[in-house]
Structures are given as C-alpha cells and as structure tokens.
Amino acid sequence: MAEFKLSDKVNPNKVFILKKSEVEKRLDPFYYIPEIKELEKKVRTKDVKPLRYFVEAVSSGATPKTAEKEKYYSNKENGIPFLRVQNLSPTGILDYADCKYINEETHNGYLKRSQVKGGDLLVKITGVGRMAVASVAPDGFVGNTNQHLVVIKTVSKEISTILASYLNSDIGEKLASRRATGGTRPALDYPALLSIPILLDERILEITKKAVEEKNKKENEAKKILSSIDNYLLGELGIKLPENDNSLENRIFTTSITKLSGGRFDPDFTSKIDYLINLKWNFPTEKLNDLLLTSPQYGANETACNKRNEDDIRYIRITDIDDLGNLKDISWKTAENTEEKYLLDKNDILFARSGSVGRCYIHKKVDLPAIFAGYLIRFKLNSEKINPDYLFYYCHSSIYKFWVSAIERPAVQSNINSEEFKSLVVPVPTLEKQSEIANQITDIRNQAKQLENDAKQIMIDAKLEVEQIILG
C-alpha cells in the first residue's frame, strides 16, 4: 500500500500526520506540532538536564478569600508582599507595581508552605499568555504567593537567575507551553514543569547580569528625568508646597467654626484647604468649572473583556491608566447597544472619582472609537481658555496631588465627586505660556519614554543572545 501524503499546499505545522509509534502519553495535537517537536529535539542534542535536576524544593500557595480581607490581608507598610502572575516579568525581575499584601499571621500560618525568600525562582504555571514566565526574588526578600505560581528553591541565586533567563526565552516558553494542558486556562502540573529540558550555561548568567545592569541604568535615568518635571512646572507657576513637618506642634492646630464648610470636619481637609486658600499664585486662577464647555459626565457601567472581537470598541477603565496618565492596557467591549453619549472626543479629560482617586487621563487615541467606565468622570475643556495638555500635566503635579489629598473623602475607598472636581483651582497663564509649558513637559516625557524603550530593547537583545547559546 502506498504511503499517504498530505498536499504540498497544506501548512505542515497546522496539519500533519503522526505515526502510532510516535505517540507518547499525550494525545493532544499541539504537543506534536512538528516545529516545536523539532525544536525540542535540537535542544536535547545539547548537554541538557530536566528542570527537576536543579530543584531542591517546589511549592505553591493559595488565594485567601477577599471576602475576609481583614483576616488575611494588610497594607504595604505593615504587610508581606503577596505575589501574583502580574508581578512576574519576562526580564526575570519582580514587578511590584500592582502588588497585594498579606498579614504576618497569614504568611506564617495559612500560607507557610509557599513562603518566598531571596534567591528563590518563581514560575507561572497557569493562565493564558506566556507560560512559565519566571522571576527571581531579590536578596533579603520575604514574601508569599498564590496557586498560579510555584516557588522553586535552588542551590543559589545564580542558578535561579540562569533558569529564569532560560525559561523567559522564546525557546523556553515554547518548551513549557508544549507541556501545558487545558483549553481556556492552560496549566503546567509539577511533573510537566519539572520535565522541561534545561541547558545550564554560565554565559547565560553573565548576559543576564549585564543586561539587567544596563536596563536599570536606563530606567533610573528615565525616572530622574520624569522627576524633574514637577520642579519645572511649579517653578514656572511660582508655587511652593508646604514642607513636610510631622512634628507634634505641626500636627495640632485650631480653626474657627465659621471655616468649617460643607459638613467636612476631618482635620486633613481643614489644614490643607487653609494652606491652598492662602497660597500666592504667579498667574490668575480659575476654578475648573469656569474652564469647561459642558457639565461633567459620569461614565458607562459596562462589562469589559480583554480580547478584542471585530466589532468591539475601546473601553477605558481606571485600571487601564497608569500613574502618568498613559494607557497601560486596552480593554474592549461589544459595540452593540453602546450609547453615543459615552463616546470620547480628542482632548477629553477623565478623572478617577474613586479607587485611584484623582488619577487623570487625556484622550488622544482617536483612531478607534472609545467609551469610558463608570468610575471615571469626563470633562470637556474650553480650548479658548485652557490648553488641554497644560491642564493634563498640571493634574500630575505635586500641588494637584496635595489638593486631591485634601478634597478626597476618607472612607474604605476614598472618592471625589464631580462638583468637588469643579472646585479645583487652576493657574491660568496666557495660552502662549500654557503651550510653552506643555511642549516642554512633552519633550521631557518623550526623552524618558525613549530611555524606557531602550531598556526594553536591552532585555530583548539579551534574550536573543540566550537563545543563540541554547541552540548553538
């Protein structure tokens, strides 16, 4: 009988034939994709050992119930870092931007087996996206983790660093994903994870160390440049913030009953508002209310999705905006039944009214339609009075944050309503001066962004070097 062959027009990596003798324990076709199968075959021609060879201990944690927050969780000042998938980075360095914290009782009790120490290797084992993303806990680190990561203890931080660099390479990711099971939520069990073939090469450590040092240098330069913006802006506006004096004498003050307005009796509000009222401005000031074209508008209460379908539109939420007002993520929602009144126009300003209260965003990405979420408030500015970019940058200054800290209502989740935002005092120089300030800050931000991009490219280049070592 003649051997059956597929047509030459068929993509052999999508449609392929496997002999019965080639079938191992796995029956899912992804495991046998020729391209990945050949990749592993090539890696195994090197002096490789399974990941388990380098492991002294492995464990994973759990997620304490958020409904019992007071029992398990804490704050940054008093708590233990509780690492999740989003805290891992393909650079091998932990990212604490969105870190949760648990209390010591939870760390030493309920989650005792998943404690993380300096030099431990942390690896993602469940979830969509890249599999086996790995990071190394820094020296002196004390933390914990949930069930979506594993804590791997090796003989040294150096070994952990090499393993992380290997797993974070595209080759390591493909070898890990090949072993994952599950459809909507892929996962690696311990035997699958520990079977990944590893090439331990000291050159990988040197490449990684050098790249991390250069990356940190670029990022520190970017931070230094960004930190100069506030001094520049306040200098141009002639504003001086009060010195941070936490002495007992400075924390005790008196005020008259006539100065207590709006039912606000909290001392932080009273002392800070008094300071702002007596502040001398170099330029005329206006209330934000007097710089608007229309009344403020609260956003839509919709359900977002992370994956975009053909007819979906952008859906901007507080969590999609970073501290600098940039979109860090893009969420989507189905365009069907979307009300036109929520569609954003260029230069619309959005303020977060709760949660990350006061966070500010200016809408520039008008290539696709977008709406905004319910915990954001939209302000449309009168461009004949105020430059939108100038106001946006002013709302990232320390004087604005000082105002937010005074106005926000102390609660479990602090908040500011639209009427309170309308009371924001804004220094209003000439439009020409506003444009000059906005352009200067834009240039500074662009310089910092370029340094951040350079830092990312350094890690990309290092990853390619590691892959060259793996494949020879």
pLDDT tens per residue, the chain (472 residues)? 466 677 777 776 677 777 777 777 777 788 778 888 888 899 999 899 999 999 999 999 999 998 888 899 999 889 999 999 999 988 888 988 789 999 999 999 999 999 999 999 999 999 888 899 999 999 999 999 999 999 999 999 999 999 999 999 999 999 999 999 887 788 999 999 999 999 999 899 899 989 989 999 999 999 999 999 999 999 999 888 766 655 555 555 555 555 555 555 565 666 667 667 777 888 999 999 999 999 999 988 776 665 566 667 888 888 889 999 998 867 766 555 667 888 999 999 999 998 889 999 999 988 888 889 889 999 999 999 999 999 999 999 999 998 998 888 766 678 899 999 999 999 999 999 999 999 999 999 999 999 999 999 999 999 899 999 988 7
User: What does DSSP assign to residue 73?
Assistant: B
Is 467 a domain residue? no
Pick the last residue of a domain from 434, 450, 467.
434
Sign of CA pseudo-dihedral 406, 410, 412, 416: negative
- Nearest by Cα to 29 from 44, 42, 18, 40: 18
Q: Where are the beta strands (DSSP E) in 320-419?
A: 332-334, 349-352, 360-362, 370-372, 376-379
Question: Same structural domain for residues 196 and 235?
Answer: no
470 inside domain: no
Is 445 part of a structural domain of the chain? no
43, 175 contact by CB (below 8 A): yes
Residues 316 and 327 sit within 8 Å (Cβ to Cβ): yes
Counted domains in the chain: 2
Report angle CA 198, 199, 204 to the nearest 5 degrees.
120
Amino acid type, 47: D
Q: H-helix or E-strand containing 370?
A: strand 370-372
Which residues form the domain of 253?
Answer: 228-434
CATH number at residue 75: 3.90.220.20
- The sheet that has 360-362: what strands, in order across it? 297-298, 376-379, 349-352, 360-362
If you ran DSSP here, which 8-state letter would residue 280 be given? P
- The interaxial angle of helices 157-168 and 202-237, nearest 10 deg, is 80
pTM for this prediction: 0.76
178 and 299 in a single domain? The answer is no
Residues 150 and 270 in one domain: no
- Quote the CA–CA distance of 346 and 40 in Å, as a whole number: 50
Q: Which of 38, 14, 37, 5 is nearest to 24 (CA)?
A: 37
Give residue 360's pLDDT. 96
Q: For residues 180 and 284, state if they share a domain.
A: no
Same domain assignment for residues 26 and 157: yes
Predicted pLDDT at 443: 98
Same domain, 171 and 314: no
256 located within any domain: yes
Decide if 352 contacts 375 (C-beta within 8 A): yes
Tokens of 32: 């046998």
- Residue 451 within a domain: no
Q: Is residue 131 part of a domain?
A: yes
Domain ends where: 153, 185, 200? 200
34 within some domain = yes
Tell me, yes or no, whether 186 and 270 share the same domain. Answer: no
Task: Note whether 265 and 176 are same-domain residues.
Answer: no
Which residue spans within 121-271 are E strands per DSSP?
121-124, 134-136, 142-145, 149-153, 197-198
CA atoms of 454 and 449, how far apart (whole Å): 9
C-alpha span between 73 and 395 (Å, rounded): 31
| Same domain as 237, residue 280 | yes
The verdict on 299 and 406 lying in the same domain is yes
CA atoms 291, 294, 296, 300: torsion sign: negative
pLDDT number for residue 367? 83
* Residue 471 counted as domain residue: no
Amino acid identity, position 405: S
Note the pLDDT of residue 245. 54
The reply to whether 147 and 76 lie within a common domain is yes
Same domain flag for 189 and 234 = no
Predicted pLDDT at 31: 79
Q: Which DSSP string corresponds to 128-143?
A: SSSSS-EEEPPTT-EE
